[in-house]
Structure 1
């Protein structure tokens, strides 16, 4: 199964089938129609309301994923892939993050991608939130 992640704002239809992974629907118009909702990997409203620091959030979110189990999550995503007929599912969220500026920029989709890699050995690329090439070091 081919998975990727992106923000709602940066997604374009050639990337694949847009799949919601957020507790709420986007409150802004989308230029595309969502193909489904991956409920088992969506953070709960209770988890979001806790406003935890990154490490604590990741720990709690991983507990949620482990509680759902890799087999159930895989089955849900495989069902979405079969229903959409798309070559790739793109798991969407609101938060943009800059992978070159940790620890302040992060999102649950980053934690899901790490968890998925640990469980399946399959990487999930981030299609949005690309940082510009860092400037060369000055000596």
Structure 2
């Protein structure tokens, strides 16, 4: 099973099967149909409402992921992949990472997934902005 991440806005069908990982669905028309919802990796509405800094959010989000466990999460994603003929699952959310200061649960999930499985999770959308090189 192959997984990747992206935003709803940057996703194209050639990337794979679009999978929702957000508490709410997009409130605008998509140019594609969602292929499922990965509920076990979707942040809770309570976590979203907590307005935490990134490190505290990631700590709380990882507690949710660890509470479900890698086996249950893997099983849910494998079922979504099977329903989509084994296509790469592209886990979608709203936040573009190229804006300074932006972060997202999908990046946190990708780090956690690598730790749990050793499998990389590529980001298919815009990448985090990198600071310009120092002249000194």
Global fold match (TM > 0.5): yes
Q: Which residue of 2 aligns with 1:88?
A: 88
Q: Which residue of 1 aligns with 2:106?
A: 109
Q: Deviations over 1:101-123 (max 9, x none)?
A: 5xx22100000000000000001
Is the CA contact 1:98–1:106 (under 8 Å) kept in the aligned structure 2?
Answer: no
Q: Which residue of 2 aligns with 1:4?
A: 4
Provide the rounded CA distance (Å) in 2 between the counterparts of 1:60 and 1:136: 33
TM-align CA RMSD: 1.7
Q: Which residue of 2 aligns with 1:70?
A: 70
Structure 1 runs not aligned, ≥5 long = none
- 1:97 offset after TM fit, Å? 1.1
Q: Which residue of 2 aligns with 1:34?
A: 34
Q: Deviations over 1:16-53 (max 9, x none)?
A: 00000000010011000000000000000000000100
Q: Which residue of 1 aligns with 2:116?
A: 119
Q: Which residue of 1 aligns with 2:49?
A: 49
Q: Per the alignment, in what secondary structure is the counterpart of residue 30 of structure 2? A: coil
The count of aligned residue pairs is: 136
Provide the rounded CA distance (Å) in 1 between the counterparts of 2:134 and 2:29: 41
Q: Which residue of 2 aligns with 1:23?
A: 23
Greater shift in the superposed pair: 80-89 or 11-20 = 80-89
Q: Deviations over 1:54-113 (max 9, x none)?
A: 0100000000000000000000000000001142000000011138x5xx2210000000
- 1:131 offset after TM fit, Å? 5.5
